[in-house]
């Protein structure tokens, strides 16, 4: 079943054991004996329910709490088994219904961990019967297995949701694993994992699983989405909505939600997957980089006020965005990329329409604020170091923020301006701080104080963009940017 939860022989009879990992003394100190009184639930496919209770304690090197045997296997392991998708899908269907039947008044360990499902009919339990052991026993066994088991269990659980929303999130995470081949969230560190879950850092199901049904993919994405701050935003689906979409057990196979794609279509999706992964990681690094620096601001509240008002004044001063009137399309592209190294987000905004370049502009705004903070807090005359100047200076070791585009090469793809749109290919190197590129974490204060400390150096990321430039309000502006990394 699992490393710590298993059926075993006791006095000639099969029992279900929960290995606490504690010796007799530690068991007594932890007051584990009271865990025997908490009940679990057995839910049958026909919706009958029975309680499950521990019967006693058995000592075998460690203390094992035991109770009536159950012939199931781990739902967690079944969901992760890519060769048993249909069995896992049926188990999830039953799990959603069973959670609703048990209700929210009972304490159950959330997610798939610790739940067991019968996959082969036995004398006492038909196929599809679920066991939800007592929460405390499951939690203790997971903790006894160590950090890897703790992190694995948390992959199915939102740290802040309760009741139906908690159930829907866990169901969505399990469905994602079945259809996409892996859980939506994976980290080796539980704190970073929880942060990913809270921020909704995952590849959308329709991209992670090529050919996957768009409607079900959207439903799963909504189920595992972050908590909405806007009360009017789209709400998380209900358990009933998931049940309606999935159908009853055995009604539809996992593969029936997929459409066959050509090799050409698959090749395009693989490129998009790589691009999405890189862009997502860069956005997460940027956002968390800003969050870490914001902590410095908070610790220096008086200084922060000065910086905030100074930044606001700068932004207000430049609220009338530069425009591209009189520029040829190629000049618009050159101006857009040239604004990176100056952290000139207003110029970038003046070069685009709609949501083109939004991620770039957000990144530049964040870095603009950070450099102003560093100039004030660390007494820099200029915290920003334009990437081209840094290269021209011989790429010296520096703790300033090296950022910008170098080596820009523009290739015309469509030069016919008669339809109001042209296109270019832009190949370039984007230089970013090392920790934004994922190569390192920000150094600790202890590291910085060491005499031999060397700041992590910037990283050059090779990108190719396809630009669409449209004629809009008497000027050429970028309407779309499609990016890939070499």
Read off the pLDDT of residues 245-276 as tens digits, 9 standing for 90 and up. Answer: 999 999 999 999 999 999 999 999 988 888 88
pLDDT value at residue 31? 80
Contacts of 420 (CB under 8 A, 6+ apart): 470, 471
Residue linked to tokens 């990394």:
485
363's tokens:
């990144």
Average model confidence (pLDDT) across the chain: 86
Residue 435 gets the label, from left (phi > 0), alpha (psi -120 to 50) or beta, of alpha
Taking 80 as the threshold, does the pLDDT of residue 317 lie above it? Answer: no
Looking at domain 264-485, which of 3.40.50.300, 3.10.450.50, 1.20.140.10, 3.30.70.20 is its CATH number? 3.10.450.50
Contacts of 33 (CB under 8 A, 6+ apart): 27, 57
pLDDT value at residue 373? 74
| 362 burial type by CB count under 10 A (0-12 exposed, 13-18 middle, 19+ buried) | middle
Residue linked to tokens 């150094």:
443
Contacts of 319 (CB under 8 A, 6+ apart): none
Length of the chain in residues, anyone? 486
Question: Which has the minimum average pLDDT: 53-67, 301-315, 352-366, 413-427?
Answer: 301-315
End-to-end CA distance of the chain: 44
pLDDT value at residue 437? 66
108's tokens:
């159950």
Taking 80 as the threshold, does the pLDDT of residue 56 lie above it? Answer: yes
State pLDDT tens for residues 201-222. 999 999 999 999 999 999 999 9
Residue linked to tokens 């304490």:
107
Domain extents in the chain: 5-260, 264-485
pLDDT value at residue 277? 82
pLDDT value at residue 291? 61
pLDDT value at residue 301? 45
pLDDT value at residue 439? 54
pLDDT value at residue 318? 45
pLDDT value at residue 297? 45
- Could you tell me which residue, 194 or 229, shows the higher pLDDT? 194
Task: Compute the CA torsion angle 77, 78, 79, 84 (nearest 10 deg).
Answer: 140
Task: Compute the CA torsion angle 305, 310, 315, 320 (nearest 10 deg).
Answer: 140
Query: pLDDT band at residue 422, thresholds of 50, 70 and 90?
Result: very high
DSSP character at residue 36: G
Distance CA 380, CA 365 (A): 19
Sign of the alpha-carbon dihedral angle for 296, 301, 304, 306: negative
CA-closest candidate to residue 173, choices 80, 269, 100: 80
Query: pLDDT band at residue 281, thresholds of 50, 70 and 90?
Result: confident
Taking 60 as the threshold, does the pLDDT of residue 408 lie above it? Answer: yes
Of the ranges 130-139, 170-179, 394-403, 444-453, which is most confident? 170-179
437's tokens:
């590129």
State pLDDT tens for residues 437-475. 665 555 554 555 455 556 788 899 999 999 999 998 889
7's tokens:
């059926």
pLDDT value at residue 105? 54
3-state secondary structure 330-397: HHHHHHHHHCCCCCCHHHHHHCECCCCCHHHHHHHHHHHHHHHHHHHHCCCCCCEEEHHHHHHCCCCC
238's tokens:
């209900």
Task: Compute the CA torsion angle 366, 370, 373, 379 (nearest 10 deg).
Answer: -150
The model scores a pTM over 0.75: no
Residue linked to tokens 């010296």:
396
Angle at 456 between CA 394 and CA 454, to 5 degrees: 85
48's tokens:
């009958």
- Could you tell me which residue, 159 or 31, shows the higher pLDDT? 159
71's tokens:
């012939």
Query: pLDDT band at residue 397, thresholds of 50, 70 and 90?
Result: confident
What are the residues facing 56 on neighbouring strands? 66
State pLDDT tens for residues 70-127. 999 999 999 999 999 999 999 999 999 999 888 755 667 888 888 999 999 988 999 9
| 239 burial type by CB count under 10 A (0-12 exposed, 13-18 middle, 19+ buried) | middle
Within this chain, domains 5-260 and 264-485 share the same CATH topology: no
Q: What is the distance of C-alpha 417 from the center of its chain?
A: 41
Give the neighbor-by-neighbor strand order of the sheet with 39-43.
49-53, 39-43, 130-132, 116-117, 73-74
134's tokens:
């007592």
For 421, the 3-state DSSP assignment is strand
What are the residues facing 42 on neighbouring strands? 50, 131
43's tokens:
């839910």
Report, as an integer, the average pLDDT of 380-391.
82
Assigned CATH topology for domain 5-260: Transferase(Phosphotransferase); domain 1 (1.10.510)
At 78, which helix (H) or strand (E)?
A: helix 75-80
């Amino acid at each position: 079943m699992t490393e710590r939860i298993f059926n075993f022989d006791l006095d000639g009879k099969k029992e279900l054991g929960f290995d606490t990992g504690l010796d007799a003394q530690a068991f007594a100190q932890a007051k584990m004996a009271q865990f025997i009184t908490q009940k679990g639930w057995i839910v049958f496919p026909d919706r009958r329910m029975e309680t499950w209770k521990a019967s006693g304690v058995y000592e075998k090197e460690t203390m094992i709490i035991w109770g009536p045997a159950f012939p199931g296997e781990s739902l967690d392991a079944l969901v992760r088994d890519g060769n048993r998708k249909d069995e896992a899908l049926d188990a999830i269907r039953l799990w959603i219904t069973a959670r609703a039947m048990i209700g929210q008044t009972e304490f159950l360990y959330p997610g798939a961990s610790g739940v067991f499902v019968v996959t082969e009919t036995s004398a006492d339990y038909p196929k599809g019967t679920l066991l939800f052991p007592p929460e405390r026993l499951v939690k203790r066994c997971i903790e006894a297995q160590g950090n890897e088991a703790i992190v694995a269990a948390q992959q199915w659980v939102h740290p802040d949701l309760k009741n139906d929303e908690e159930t829907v999130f866990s169901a969505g995470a399990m469905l994602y694993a079945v259809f996409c081949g892996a859980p939506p969230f994976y980290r080796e560190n539980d704190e970073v994992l929880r942060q990913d879950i809270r921020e909704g850092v995952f590849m959308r199901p329709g991209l992670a699983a090529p050919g996957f049904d768009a409607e079900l993919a959207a439903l799963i994405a909504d189920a595992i989405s972050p908590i909405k701050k806007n009360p009017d935003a789209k709400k998380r689906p209900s358990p009933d909505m998931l049940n309606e979409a999935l159908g009853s057990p055995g009604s539809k196979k996992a593969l029936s939600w997929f459409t066959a794609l050509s090799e050409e279509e698959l090749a395009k999706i693989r490129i998009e997957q790589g691009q999405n992964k890189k862009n997502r990681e860069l956005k997460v690094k940027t956002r968390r980089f800003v969050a870490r620096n914001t902590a410095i601001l908070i610790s220096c509240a008086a200084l922060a006020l000065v910086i905030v008002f100074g930044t606001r004044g700068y932004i207000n001063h430049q609220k009338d965005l530069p425009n591209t009137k009189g520029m040829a399309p190629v000049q618009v592209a050159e101006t857009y990329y040239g604004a990176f190294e100056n952290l000139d987000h207003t110029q970038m905004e003046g070069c685009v329409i709609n949501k083109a370049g939004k991620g770039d502009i957000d990144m530049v705004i964040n870095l603009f604020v950070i450099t102003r903070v560093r100039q004030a807090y660390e007494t820099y005359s200029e915290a920003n170091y334009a990437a081209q100047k840094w290269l021209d200076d011989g790429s010296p070791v520096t703790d300033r923020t090296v950022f910008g585009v170098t080596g820009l090469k523009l290739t015309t793809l469509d030069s016919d301006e008669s339809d109001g749109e042209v296109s270019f290919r832009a190949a370039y190197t984007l230089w970013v701080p090392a920790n934004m590129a994922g190569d390192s974490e920000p150094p600790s204060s202890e590291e910085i104080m060491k005499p031999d400390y060397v700041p992590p150096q910037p990283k050059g990321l090779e990108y190719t963009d396809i630009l669409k430039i449209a004629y809009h309000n008497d000027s050429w502006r970028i309407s779309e940017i499609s990016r890939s990394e070499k």
